[in-house]
Amino acid sequence: MSLKIKNLYARDIRFPTSMTLDGSDAMNPDPDYSAAYVVLETDSPDGVTGHGLAFTIGRGTDLCVAGIEAYKPLVLDVELDSITADFGRFWRVITGDSQLRWVGPEKGVIHLAAAAIVNAIWDLYAKVEGKPLWKLLVDMSPEELVSCIDFRHITDVLTRDEALDILERNIPTCAAREREMRERGYPAYTTSTGWLGYSDDKLRALCRESLSAGWSHFKIKVGGSVEDDIRRASIIREEIGPDKKLMMDANQIWDVDEAIAYMKQLAQFDPWWIEEPTSPDDVLGHAAIAKAIHPIGVATGECCHNRVMFKQFLQAGAMQFCQIDSCRLGGVNEILSVLLMAAKFGVPVCPHAGGVGLCEHVQHLAIFDYICVGASLEDRIAEYVDHLHEHFVDPVTMKDGHYMPPSRPGYSIEMKPESLDEHEFTNGPVWRDLRS
């Protein structure tokens, strides 16, 4: 008999990272890394549960919690087997609820809530199958993977048959890439050296520390005054040398013409890409910037609400680096469609991570993408931020700047009970102490 989902509950979990300015950038100067955290309880005799989260940065986490709870009637007493037998249909039930869609049709708070639930189901599915999520996906047939995808509104770019062709042509070489991942891991870059609120001395110290740990790709936050950006970029380029890759991230702060003007001044530091140079919804603006600042690439996607936005960015040549976010899109199902569209356009996928739990999530997605979809490491790299991993039951393992494939069953997103209790907002001990 298939196990059933018997309960769903969500918690508002927040970490006071604003006190140390971890995560600070041009648009978010004081983030408290947070999560609307969901647990799916089942009737399984061994007590197996599914865990997921929507990443947030403080106020508003309670809204995501309310969104998760609004989905409860669609999940309770549903058998896991009935979901996984036709995961695409279930995804459409969750994201297509006729009343909830009106408050956010595949975007905004309600889509973040859907992502948390969908990812919790994938975590549960992988645990039941006894596999880490990346391996569960790798072992699925092309037909099974494609059946998870909602192709509505993207068939002008990617059809079901095209998706099958991409997956099937990679099958003969998948095993070799899987061995490579187990031996070497997936390449990563660090953002931990370049938060906007860090002092110059801290920038230097963190660069030296990261270099000694084997890092070769570094990202710096920009978007303050151009003079400050030039000074900070000078420090990092001086510390890492001319041969290491340097990326920049404006976090949406500039207008289109302003972004072009700023990047012409910052081009002296040989940036590999500029990330989110303008509004994350401005497809044509990104395209204009990409054309004007070439050969510097444009990276974006962490704030794209859904697969349709990614479709348009790819169609317009507005992204040279595709940055999926594991919790912004509607969970694994929608991410599969973006990975396949990026493969068709030949655009490298470089997942966004950081925050709380995003690194734990995206390692699975990046490894699967390399083995089964993109099938290349050329210009591919995943973000890594060295914050808050100690709160997870199965935290990321890094080796020489690479994500090593997880071996524990699940999606690596389950948090330790004591961490949840201590950081629950507003009555966890951490927050009580801050109020006193």
Residues with Cβ < 8 Å from 33, sequence gap 6 or more? 14, 15, 17, 22, 23, 55, 57, 355, 356, 387, 388
- What are the tokens at 109? 């708070």
pLDDT, mean of residues 323-339: 97
3-state secondary structure of 415: strand
Provide the annotated active-site residues.
Answer: 221, 352
Tell me, what's the pLDDT at 25? 81
Q: How many angstroms separate the CA atoms of 50 and 41, rounded?
A: 7
Question: By the 8 A CB rule, do 22 and 387 touch?
Answer: yes
Q: What is the CA radius of gyration of the chain?
A: 21
Q: Is residue 116 predicted with pLDDT exceeding 80?
A: yes
- What are the tokens at 135? 């391996």
Q: Which residue in 32, 55, 103 sits closest to 413, CA to CA?
A: 55
Contacts 24+ apart (CB under 8 A), 96-105: 97/71, 100/70, 100/71
| CA-to-CA dists, residue 416 to 203, 228, 250, 420, angstroms | 31, 40, 33, 6
Q: How many angstroms separate the CA atoms of 406 and 51, rounded?
A: 16
Give the tens place of pLDDT for each residue, 38-76. 999 999 999 999 999 999 999 999 999 999 999 999 999
Q: Quick one: pLDDT band at residue 325, thresholds 50, 70, 90? A: very high
pLDDT, mean of residues 176-191: 97
Percentage with pLDDT > 70 across the chain? 100
Tell me, what's the pLDDT at 388? 95
Q: Is residue 232 predicted with pLDDT exceeding 90?
A: yes
Tell me, what's the pLDDT at 1? 58
Give the tens place of pLDDT for each residue, 332-391. 999 999 999 999 999 999 999 988 999 999 999 999 999 999 999 999 999 999 999 999
Q: How many angstroms separate the CA atoms of 226 and 380, rounded?
A: 29
Q: What is the DSSP string of 71-124?
A: THHHHTT-BHHHHHTTHHHHHHHHHT-TTGGGG-TTSHHHHHHHHHHHHHHHHH
For the beta carbon of residue 117, count every other beta carbon within 10 angstroms: 26
Tell me, what's the pLDDT at 193? 87
pLDDT, mean of residues 240-259: 97
Among the residues of 130-241, which ranges form H helices?
A: 133-139, 142-146, 160-184, 200-212, 226-240
Residue type, 313: F
Give the tens place of pLDDT for each residue, 135-153. 999 999 999 999 999 999 9
Tell me, what's the pLDDT at 336? 98
Tell me, what's the pLDDT at 45? 93
Give the tens place of pLDDT for each residue, 28-43. 888 999 999 999 999 9
Tell me, what's the pLDDT at 239? 96
Q: Quick one: pLDDT band at residue 436, thresholds 50, 70, 90? A: confident
Instruction: Tokens 């569209």: give the residue.
Output: 341
Question: By the 8 A CB rule, do 109 and 116 touch?
Answer: no
Q: Is residue 264 predicted with pLDDT exceeding 90?
A: yes
Q: How many angstroms separate the CA atoms of 26 and 252, rounded?
A: 8
| CA-to-CA dists, residue 107 to 49, 99, 325, angstroms | 27, 14, 13
Tell me, what's the pLDDT at 346? 98
Average per-residue pLDDT for the chain? 96
Kind and range of the H or E element at 293? helix 283-293
Give the tens place of pLDDT for each residue, 418-428. 999 999 999 99
Per-residue burial over 300-335, b if 16 or more Cβ lie within 10 Å, else e, is bbbbbbbbbbbbbbbeeebbbbbbbbbbbbbbbbbb
pLDDT, mean of residues 217-228: 94
Q: Which residue in 370, 372, 341 sits closest to 162, CA to CA?
A: 341
Q: Quick one: pLDDT band at residue 11, thresholds 50, 70, 90? A: very high
Q: How many angstroms separate the CA atoms of 364 and 136, rounded?
A: 10
Phi, psi of 61 (to 5 degrees): -60, -35
- Cα end-to-end distance, the chain, whole Å: 51
3-state secondary structure of 33: coil
Tell me, what's the pLDDT at 167? 98
Give the tens place of pLDDT for each residue, 291-315. 999 999 999 999 999 999 999 999 9
Tell me, what's the pLDDT at 24? 81
